[in-house]
Structure 1
């Protein structure tokens, strides 16, 4: 026979005062009346008041819903309706998988009944006992693979294409600057030398010194452009990634989208040693 002292029931109500944020007044009144009925062990009245609130959307995720399910399940059990209690406790456990009934407030038969149902749901994989129902997302370390699809011919393009393809933006910027300066110098000096030529296509003796200086600048510009180009091609091919880049970053992931942990199995093998004497023990992961 089950017995339940009045004093612990008073303690139950005192330790879990329901809040009223976002809950209609009629529901708050029902919960208050159910609390009073639960204190005096009027379990049929508790069932009558709380049963309509089990699936009410206004209570979803709120502490009041947990209290409604806890009181209702306990009232069913203490009234002898164990099947009804099992259904209510199942819903309570699914929504609050880490909840344990206080053994100081409820009789041991009730807490054992609740714990057995909770263990059944854990064994069936219905709930994760470590999940906090208040946490809908978790910060996870994400491994990201970035593949490189740049064709080899692209590394022979000028202006640091190989460096930018390798994600070496700083080095690519330097190459672009050097090649741009070299090309600009080459074009400008060539244009200036062409302007010094007469109708016959030759530079006059008076402009020969200026033409020589411009020619030296043209050679310097061409050397800078060509050297930067050769460096860009060689460096790009030499530092071309052999495989995808692997990067790690923290990201907030929804609980429902987190993949399950990999199934890691291990085995222990005992057999004769290869040396001819003794026993060999092998552990395989």
Structure 2
């Protein structure tokens, strides 16, 4: 009897298991949600669709996932839950950005909201793509500029040109300004006195006795200034030759960068003398 009792219990258990309804598959649940949506039973459709999508989608195809987000968004919209509707529309749009909706199945207002969000996402993705492309181009250009070197050729004959030409070529700005100024002053004094004397007395004219001392003094200044000019010119030539390099290799500077890659200029304040009626003054300029 105990054996018979156990056999009957086992048969009862098997019958119970076979009689229990099998769990619905995701595809069947999706069909149930579709039916509820067609009946406009939003409250019945929403929990089924939500369970199919969250926390992770249980649907196998992208098309079904898109449809589930869309139907959930439409159900939420018709239930006056605009926040959820917007979120679900955007989730659907991300999957199929170019897909538009007709107004035959869904309400016009819901389709309008869907299209509004679609256009916003299309524009956002377009701008993001442009920014990424621009950032990529900038990075390529920066790397190119960093990898570049500039070979600057220097002419030998420039060393023999007075007024600091050799120093300027050697990128010795202060020396170049010194030689240019000193040679300019001494050369101008010597040439100026010579032209004055020639204009006053001619190349081989006779100097009156009354002007002899003044002319002699001017001639001494002329010769001294001329000698100083020649000495400065020779000094400048020697200095330029000593520091001369036929070519130099340097990194590119900011002048090679396009405007959008250059750093913002810093503001500077400058003072400059300026003539004024009855005197002079100083003008302050602010550059930014």
Shorter-chain TM range is 0.3 to 0.5
Higher fraction of helix: 2
Compare relative contact order (CA 8 Å, sep 6+) and give the higher one, 1 or 2. Answer: 1
Normalising to structure 2: TM-score of the pair? 0.42
Normalising to structure 1: TM-score of the pair? 0.43
Higher-Rg member (1/2): 2
